[in-house]
Every structure is written in structure tokens, then in C-alpha cells.
A and B are shown apart, each in its own frame.
Chain A
Amino acid sequence: MGEEIKVIVFRLGEEEYGIEVDKVQTIERMMPITRVPKTYAFVKGVINLRGVVIPVINLRGRFGLEEVEATDQTRVIIVAVNDMQVGFIVDSASDVIDLNTDSIDNPPEVVGGIKAKYLRGVAKVGEERLLVMLNLSEVLNKSEIIQLEGLEE
């Protein structure tokens, strides 16, 4: 028997994703973001989260999906992995569900255009609902991200 875990559910477009609740520090509404120059395109900038400066990633951009305008459903999920705090901009986040790790299947080759290595697996919730479980350390892995050019004029 696998263990019971709690999962935060959020949406990007038509798909539902899940992150283990113990990786999530807080979920915030959209807030002013300070742009950081010369960084990855999907890094939207940094926010002030109660005195701590935290970089914010557009998760759509990270997965190579088309970026959309923020709505009042847009949320910033603050996660903490490997001593790093990062905010994910997602289309909406509303649900917390209980999941048994046994119900997580290995990731299929391609899901919705997202490279499978970002995925921990796909969980089946109830009859119809499919939840894509993220592999957070891969999402935050920087080794594949190309080195930025130096600051030259």
C-alpha cells in the first residue's frame, strides 16, 4: 500500500496538475512583480512576499505553453525545494485532495506537449479526473537552461 498524501491542485489551460502539499508554502493572489533583466524569458521577475524577495516563474512559459494575461483566477504558488523558494504563476488553484501514491502511474511519453521528465506521474482521481503530478526538482532544475549571455554593450 502506498501512502496517503495531500495534493494541491492547480490548472494550466485545460489540464489539472498536482504538487504535494508539503512542498507548497503558500498560495497568493497575483501581486506586483519587479522585472529582472537578463534572465530566462519564463522568469517574470521577483516579488516581495512579506519581506522576502522571491523569484516568480510563469509555469506556462516554463512548459513552453503559450502565456496568457493574468485574470482574477491567477494564483502564485510559492514552493520550497532544495533550499530554493520560487513562485509559480498558474491559471487557477482551488483544490486540495487526498491521494494514494499507488494511484500515480508512470508518466506517459508526452502529455499535453510537456516533456515527461518534468512529471512524476499521472494520478487518476475518481472516474474521470486525471491529475498531472509535477516533479518539482526537475521543474526547478537549471542544468538544462542555457547559460545567459554576459552583459555587454
Chain B
Amino acid sequence: MDMNQYLTMFIDESNDHLQSLNENMLQLESNPDDIGIVQIIFRSAHTLKGMAATMGYEDLASLTHQMENVLDLVRNEKLKMQDFIFDTLFKSLDALESMVQDITEGGDGKADVSSIVASLQSIVRGEGASSGGAAAEGDNSAVAVQGIELDEFQFSVLDQSISEGHKVLYIQVTLREDCQLKAVRAYMVFETLERSGEIVKTYPDVQEIEQGEFDRVFSLYYITQRETQDIESQILGVSEIETTTVVALDHESLQQMVQESAATAEAVKPQVSEAAPAAVASPEAKSPSAPAKESKAPARNAGGGNPSRTIRVDIERLDVLMNLFSELLIDRVRLEQLASESKNQELTDTVEHMSRVSSDLQNIVLKLRMVPVDTVFNRFPRMVRDLAKTLDKKIDLIITGAETELDRTVIDEIGDPLVHLLRNSADHGVEPVADRIAAGKPETGTVHLRAFHSGNNVFIEIEDDGRGIYRDKILKNALAKGVVTEAEAATMTDDEVNQLLFAPGFSTAEKISDVSGRGVGLDVVKSKIVALGGNVTIYSTPGKGTNFSVQLPLTLSIIAAMLIRMGSEKYAIPLSSIVETGIIKRGQIKHVHGSRMIQFRESLIPVISLSRLFEIPDFDEELEEETEIVVIRKGDRLAALTIDDFIGQSEIVIKNLGKYLPAIQGVSGATILGDGQVALIIDANAFIK
């Protein structure tokens, strides 16, 4: 069978499972006694194993298999989760991730996992674990898999359930001889049963059943409140089932049944173990439908019902849709122009209606590309956990607003800058436990990661309650590095001093930790975020903590802009960087120390001649007595651009200039106007130093 067609599905689902494994492991780490979480983890690992085996990725399968063995002991309460077990399991997850990554990049997913496998095996054997008893019992459970023999724990669960007035049923299901997908049918039976009770033990083992590795019959122990007949009819409701036997058990019959099966177990054993290696080869096992369906179950369990009804769409298709839509938008603007010229009422009405429809459409198209920031945030809990371990600190990461949505293109880019900032907070912000206690703070530091909407922006804040930033230390370092002069340093506000951390020269300091440690690579973070059309600011109170606030645009593809004319040329200035427009007289321009300035509100701001910067051939404001200006803003600094004329405000679709042209300072892209002409988009940020 050609596996390639399932490869994307495999990769997507594997990543989903790895993510859920990571998340649940973290949860388990904070509630080590919650067996419910172990169950979810087990199922995820199990599905992953099945998928990997089906696709022929043996290293992946064998590693997950070992993880499963450990988890199986944990969920049966034969092994208590401990730090070293968590560490080994996390290490396994990392290994799995890199294997899946390798597969994604076209590799064969092979990796040397022998050392991790060995440590997992030693955990199963009970070595290194403080509970010496786990070893012996662990081995027992491996035997107990064969036959419908119950181990002591399972037996006592069933026995106790009977005492508590639950129904304990022994169910045997026989599939029709012509049943095509045995594993799927079995899975459907399991799912039906799990809706109204709990399956305690199956024969053959669940994983063998899921791989279709059984003849036509499988049986299980089941605890429920429902009537025997109810259950029977539910099972028969699944298609391709021939018969089912449902027997209600009491204390005695349970005892008897277990003894009988224990006797036959010995006889069955060789047969089963022989069949096990063949599992991968059986055709049903290769069918992806079983693992695919299975994978939905843990998600549902974790989410508490309400499965989200979504489909996966290739991002490239969305890009095509976006491009087509932007062409529609260009035509719309053109139509509006024509309609207003022709003064035909019917045409105007139609165009107006079309405008409304297309702006609704625009909203939908943009929303399609929106992804919750959760997709970026979800890797951080694990990262912060590992960081805290390496740094020997205690850190709580509290995430809020993970459902906030951002354009896919922004999401893809924002991960690395956030990693930097979080590392900074964990590494340099939050103090070691001893220091925190000395400072009268709780020994566990808190890092808040929050995302929220505000206007046309999304803010992502990273706030720690660590030691904060000390002005003196930064200034000292900045002076030493020549980033600022003595005179500048004396007049800088605290916020300006904080912003120094983003200064390019600052980050190259070899040993930055002596300046309350900030500054490693922060200039890279800043430039990346600015390149996305966003901004980042720092607020800090010495001794109390630091807050990095990242501001990002909702989308990168459609913006509101002011169209202007410069002689025969047209340009677009994003509205987000415009403060005000106006007209000034030549006499209002003052010359200060060689540069031209005007009075704007309370301050003097520089006047920038766009015609000179862009060497515009047929316009020069020198010839004008009165000049239109656009006051632009970068952060809290302002400047006035002199222009020829305003055309008006419009929604524009941002197009890039292609790879051939070098980056042109002052131009951030291009757009296509209603008349089909290309207009360049002015990058106001580049004009203000």
C-alpha cells in the first residue's frame, strides 16, 4: 500500500499527539496523583505508537512502546510518578519530536533511542525507583496481558464495584466473518461502551485489538450502571457485529471466571506472543482509519465534550484565496471610481451593494487566516519548566488569552522573539530561590504570559515578578559600550534607559549578567517585531519585576492607508503611522542647527522632504508657498512629511516587491490601485531615527 498519501495526515496527527502529550505531562507534573491524566497520556502515546508502526517508523514505535510500558504501570498504580520518571518521559518526548521533525523534512525518522529506551526499561524493571515492589509487579502485568486473566488490582476493582452496587459485565463480541475493518468495529464498540461505563480489561489486549490482531472474537470486563440488555442492544447497534454475549457477574462468578482464564492463559500464551510480531504485517493494522479515529477520543476527553468542528486547510490554498480576493478588492475600488464618474444611479447602487458584500467577504477571508496564539504559546510551559530546572529556580508560567487570534503569517514569525523574551524573564528576571526569600518574595517566581486585543492590534505581554531592571547598571554598561554619551545618559528618562536594552551594540556584551542580566539578543527581537509592523516596549520597577509588551498588527495583508500624490506619482502611507494631516506655510518652517523643523502642538518636529528623499522628478515643495504635510509617528517620536496632494483614504492590499529588488529604505511594499497602477507603500518608521 502506498503510504505517502497518509504521510501528511500522520505528521499532522503525530504533532497533535506530541503536543497533547507535552501538555498533559506538564499537568501531571503538577498533579502527579491524577490517574485520569495518565490515562489520557497513555492513550495518546498508544495511538502514536499504532500510527508509527502502521507507517513503518520502527524507532518511533519502539520508543512509544517503552513509554507506554512505563505509563501502564503508572495508571495501574504500580508505579508512582517521580522526578526522574518525568525527566525520562520528557526526554522521550523530545526524541519523538525530533523524529517526527525528521519525517516532516523527508527523512526516515530513524534515531538512536537506545539509551532512552534503556532508561525506560530500567524504570519498568523498577531500577532507580524507590518503590522496590514495582519491579516484580511490573513483570507480572506483562504476563497478565495474555489471557483474560486479571491482576490483583483489576480483580479488586471489579470485586469492589460489585460490592458498591455497580454492574460488572463480562462481554464477548463476535464480528461477522466478512467484517472488513475489524479494528474499527472493535473501536466503535469500545467507544459505545465507554459512553456509559468503564472497560476494565480486554482480551486480547487493547492494542492488539486496535491493530486488528485478533480472530473474530474479543471479550472484556465492563463496569456500568446500565441494564444488561441495554448494553447488549447498544453493542449490536454497531454494524458488522454477528453476536454478543453479555453476562452480569457477581462475586462468585467473577472469582470463578478469573480462575478459569488463569488456567487457560498458560496454554494461550505461546500462541499470542508468536502472533504479536505479525501485528504490523496484517492489512487492517495498516489501515490508517483506526488510529485516525482513535486520536479524536483523547482530544474529546481532555476538552470535556464539544469537539470543535474544523477542517485542516493547506495554508497555501488560503494564500491563493487571499490573492484572488485582493484582486477583487482592486476591481471593487476601480468600479467605485467608474460608478462615481458615470453618475448612473443603478450602477452606483449595485456597486455599493457589491462593496458591502465584499467587505463582509474580506472579514471572513481574513478570519480564515486567523489562528489562536495558543499554537505558539503551547510550547512555552514545557520550555519554562526545562529552563527552571536548568537554572534551579522555581517558576510558575501563567498563560492568559491563549485564544486571542492573530494572522497566520504573524503567528509563524512571532514564536522566536517570544522565546527570547521568555528566556530573558526566566534567566535574568526571576531570581534564584534564596534571593527571592531574602527579598521577602514567595520562593516560586511567576511569569505571566498574556495576549489580548486592543483596537487593531494584539498585545502580548510577558511579565515577571523578578528583580527588575536597574537604571544605573544599564547606563554604566551602555556608556562602556559607547551606546550613549555621558550627556545623553544624564537626561534620559527611565523608560528610555530601559529601551537601551534593545540597542544593537548593547547585546554584544560578552558578560551581560552583571547588568541585572538583560540584553542578550534583544535587538534581534526588536527588529523582528518591527519588521512585522509591531513594536516592543519594556516597563520595569526595580525589585518588583519587568514587563515586556509586544504590540502586533492583526494582519499583514490588508491595511488602511492614506493615498497621496507626489507630482505624477502616487504613494500609500499606512494610517497606523499617521498622526495628523495638515497644511503649512513656507514661513512656518524654521531652521534649527541646519535641519528644518516646524512647531507641532507643543514641540518642534523635523520636516522631511519626501520629494528629495525619493528624488521625485516632477514635484518640489520648494516651489510652493503652502505645502501639505503628513505628521507621522514612530513610537513617541514625530516627524512631518511634506507632500504634494492628498488623494484619500483607502483599504489597500499589501504586495511584496519580490526578491530581486534590494530592501529599499522608506518603502515597505507595494499595492495595486483601482486603476491598475502600482503604488509604493511608504514605511514611515524608516524616516524617524
What A residues does B326 contact at CB under 8 A? 51
Inter-chain contact B662/A52, CB cutoff 8 Å: no
A47 to chain B, nearest CB (A): 7
Inter-chain contact B658/A37, CB cutoff 8 Å: no
User: Among B658, B666, B676, which residue has the most Cβ atoms of chain A within 10 A?
Assistant: B658
What B residues does A82 contact at CB under 8 A? 659
Bound-complex Cα distance A84 to B660 (A): 6
Bound-complex Cα distance A100 to B662 (A): 36
Bound-complex Cα distance A38 to B616 (A): 11
Inter-chain contact B680/A34, CB cutoff 8 Å: yes
Contact of B327 among A47, A51, A83 (CB under 8 A): A51
Bound-complex Cα distance A37 to B662 (A): 11
Question: B656 at the A/B interface (Cβ < 8 Å)?
Answer: yes
Inter-chain contact A153/B612, CB cutoff 8 Å: yes
B408 to chain A, nearest CB (A): 20
Binary contact readout A97-124 vs B (1 if CB under 8 angstroms, 0 otherwise): 0000000000000000000000000000
Question: A135 at the A/B interface (Cβ < 8 Å)?
Answer: no
Bound-complex Cα distance A53 to B654 (A): 10
What B residues does A50 contact at CB under 8 A? 327
What A residues does B617 contact at CB under 8 A? 35
Inter-chain contact A38/B569, CB cutoff 8 Å: no
What A residues does B613 contact at CB under 8 A? 37, 151, 153
Inter-chain contact A53/B670, CB cutoff 8 Å: yes
Which residue on A lies nearest to B656, using beta carbons? A53
What B residues does A53 contact at CB under 8 A? 655-658, 670, 672, 678
Question: B348 at the A/B interface (Cβ < 8 Å)?
Answer: no
Which residue on B lies nearest to A56, using beta carbons? B660
Inter-chain contact A32/B662, CB cutoff 8 Å: no
Inter-chain contact B660/A55, CB cutoff 8 Å: yes
Question: B508 at the A/B interface (Cβ < 8 Å)?
Answer: no
Bound-complex Cα distance A151 to B615 (A): 11
B613 to chain A, nearest CB (A): 6
What B residues does A153 contact at CB under 8 A? 608-609, 612-613
Bound-complex Cα distance A150 to B656 (A): 20
Inter-chain contact A55/B608, CB cutoff 8 Å: no
Question: B686 at the A/B interface (Cβ < 8 Å)?
Answer: yes
Bound-complex Cα distance A36 to B571 (A): 11
What A residues does B280 contact at CB under 8 A? none
What A residues does B616 contact at CB under 8 A? 37
Given contacts A38-B666, A43-B661, contact A51 B672 (CB under 8 A): yes
Bound-complex Cα distance A151 to B614 (A): 9
Question: A26 at the A/B interface (Cβ < 8 Å)?
Answer: no
Contact of A52 among B569, B612, B655 (CB under 8 A): B655
Question: A130 at the A/B interface (Cβ < 8 Å)?
Answer: no
Number of B interface residues in the complex (CB < 8 A): 34
Inter-chain contact A37/B614, CB cutoff 8 Å: yes
Question: B31 at the A/B interface (Cβ < 8 Å)?
Answer: no
Question: B679 at the A/B interface (Cβ < 8 Å)?
Answer: yes
Inter-chain contact A35/B665, CB cutoff 8 Å: no
Question: A48 at the A/B interface (Cβ < 8 Å)?
Answer: yes
What B residues does A36 contact at CB under 8 A? 657, 661, 664, 667, 680
What B residues does A38 contact at CB under 8 A? 614-615, 664-667
Give the dominant DSSP class at A's interface: loop
B686 to chain A, nearest CB (A): 6
Inter-chain contact A37/B667, CB cutoff 8 Å: yes
Question: B554 at the A/B interface (Cβ < 8 Å)?
Answer: no
Given contacts A47-B678, A53-B678, A148-B662, contact A37 B615 (CB under 8 A): yes
Question: B323 at the A/B interface (Cβ < 8 Å)?
Answer: yes
Q: Enumerate A40-74 residues with CB–CB distance to B below 8 Å.
A: 43, 45-48, 50-55
Inter-chain contact A54/B609, CB cutoff 8 Å: no
Inter-chain contact A51/B330, CB cutoff 8 Å: yes
Question: B454 at the A/B interface (Cβ < 8 Å)?
Answer: no
Question: A39 at the A/B interface (Cβ < 8 Å)?
Answer: yes
Bound-complex Cα distance A36 to B615 (A): 10
Bound-complex Cα distance A82 to B664 (A): 21
Bound-complex Cα distance A150 to B676 (A): 30
Binary contact readout B579-621 vs A (1 if CB under 8 angstroms, 0 otherwise): 0000000000000000000000000000011001111110000
Bound-complex Cα distance A34 to B670 (A): 10
B375 to chain A, nearest CB (A): 27
Inter-chain contact A84/B658, CB cutoff 8 Å: yes
Question: B677 at the A/B interface (Cβ < 8 Å)?
Answer: yes
What B residues does A54 contact at CB under 8 A? 658
Chain A to chain B: the 10 pairs with minimum beta-carbon distance, closest first: A151-B665, A37-B614, A34-B678, A53-B655, A51-B327, A53-B670, A84-B659, A84-B660, A48-B678, A86-B660
Q: Which residues of B contact A (CB under 8 A)?
A: 323, 326-327, 330, 569, 608-609, 612-617, 655-662, 664-667, 670, 672, 676-680, 686-687
Q: Which residues of A contact B (CB under 8 A)?
A: 32, 34-39, 43, 45-48, 50-55, 82-86, 140, 142, 147-148, 150-151, 153
A-B contact pairs, 21 of them (CB 8 A): A32-B677, A34-B677, A34-B678, A36-B680, A37-B613, A46-B657, A46-B661, A46-B678, A48-B672, A48-B676, A51-B323, A51-B327, A51-B672, A53-B656, A55-B657, A84-B660, A142-B660, A151-B666, A151-B686, A153-B612, A153-B613
